[in-house]
Amino acid sequence: MTAHVLNAEGLNCPLPIIKAKKALKSVPQGEILAISTTDPGSVADFAAFCNQTGNELLSSSSEGAIYKFEIKRS
């Protein structure tokens, strides 16, 4: 399954979450949205977002100053 991709690099809180919420609306249920950000606060933000929305945070990682997330739409 190919993941849907959202590049939110260079955006500060709360924009990565806002853009992810909007992007998830076009992701079919059960599919994955891959997100990349440069905002260190997004680690806690995406965990809380998934907890509140019922979407599943499949992975959270960092590569240097880039933070990557995979969210499965519920």
Catalytic residues: 13
CA–CA separation, 51 and 70 (whole Å): 14
Q: Are the C-beta atoms of 70 and 33 separated by less than 8 Å?
A: yes
